[in-house]
Structure 1
């Protein structure tokens, strides 16, 4: 895995909104396995999930990797501080896309609306929409963004980082989790959607057949 030279890592703000949205809208959708399974498109996400990017960047917790200073944004991780009001606002917009609502119901079932209780703190960041441009994948860029997020979170008094992941190897190879631990999981073949009563994700294949919440304690 060759590393990338001439990268600059920066804390992102709303001034980076255009570049961040372009990267995420073009390349996150195609890598999110639950969405791919449901034929989720960026058009499904733009009115709801992607519309939150600006407010997330406004928190000043997210990080981007730029090639040749500001010439090209090649990777991003959106770090979002716990905010019940933002969650409620998002929940109210879910009628726009049934595919989005289906995925949201899965996240609620695993505990997505109870993260502060599960983690035992409200001082956490949820790591969302981590995306690397295809030209820069498998070069260590995302692990570096996560490492730098850990440092930044500690500096700001954050106690835990949490991520949602659809990946059963995290259960089988915990030594490769870089300090993250599995705290909740659902086998997708057994999950029943509470609205439709259907096993909506039962056809997902390994290694993307288990939905996880993983967390890292910053002590």
Structure 2
């Protein structure tokens, strides 16, 4: 896999949503093995403890943290994840963890989780929601290779300063470099969906967790979901193809 050139945020400062920070002091680059511990800490502190779908299910925080530590390491090792670093301190302030999925080896519908994680029974309702939104996505969207977004996380000290938008744009650049057809990912809340739209993504399917019924049990597993995080959206960015 080719090394991705570091993306200096200085080149993107003309965007209005970066006006509250001096982005020349930050760097966007591919995460590597040496970043695993930093990445795990970022996810533990700013994702595992805050994920709204898990809160709605009443998932044990210890279980969620252990699950995310394993998944974060796997995704970094996969080589398709990005981080935003503060240049002076080398602090990781945001990350987008992704994995390349190919039609040839993916037959169970698009989901942010790997199949072997199904052994964690508490994750099944989340997997089912993802699959209901993205079943048959490869054929429906006519794609052979997808950059699948798993986790997008921002240090709370840098929230609402454009970090998530910058990460989404970085993912579209990475997908182009890796010759993917699409970038796909899930967001919760309409606020996050609007960030995705600003980055060129389209919402291709949506689901209200408060109305979602598990087909196997007939129950509503997410009745404790709290608005606006009751909405889950599957977002898609189609990578432009170079002219022949």
- What corresponds to 1:93 in structure 2? 117
Aligned pairs for 1:21-170 within 5 A:
21-68=40-87, 71-82=90-101, 84=105, 90-98=114-122, 100-111=123-134, 114-168=136-190
Residues 2-11 or 136-145, more deviating: 2-11
**Alpha-carbon contact 1:28-1:131 (below 8 Å) kept:** yes
Residues 30-77 of structure 1: per-residue CA shift (max 9 Å, x gap): 332212222334422345454122232123221111113563111100
For residues 170 and 29 of structure 1, do their structure 2 counterparts lie closer, same or farther at Cα, with a shift above 3 Å needed?
closer
Per-residue CA deviation, residues 85-140 of structure 1 (Å, 9 max, x unaligned), is 79899434323342x222112112222x5332233212211112111111111111
Q: Could you list the per-position Cα deviations for residues 123-175 of structure 1 after superposition, in whole angstroms to 9, with x for gaps in the alignment? A: 2111121111111111111111211221121122112111112224678x699
TM-score with structure 2 setting the length: 0.76
Alpha-carbon distance in 1 for matches of 2:60, 2:142:
35
Work out the number of aligned pairs and report it: 216
Ranges in structure 1 where 5+ consecutive residues have no aligned partner: none
Q: 1:176, 1:64 → 2: CA distance?
A: 21
Query: Which range moved further: 52-61 or 146-155?
Result: 52-61
**Counterpart check, 1:191 vs 2:209:** no
1:166 and 1:209 in contact (8 A); partners too: yes
Deviations 1:161-210 (A, max 9, x none): 11112224678x69944311111122223211134321122343432222
SS in 1 for 2:172: helix
Asked whether the equivalents of residues 27 and 131 of structure 1 are also in contact (C-alpha less than 8 Å), the reply is yes
**RMSD of the TM alignment (CA)?**
2.9
Q: Which whole-Å CA distance do the structure 2 matches of 1:22 and 1:175 have between them?
A: 25
Relative contact order, higher structure (CA 8 A, sep 6+): 1
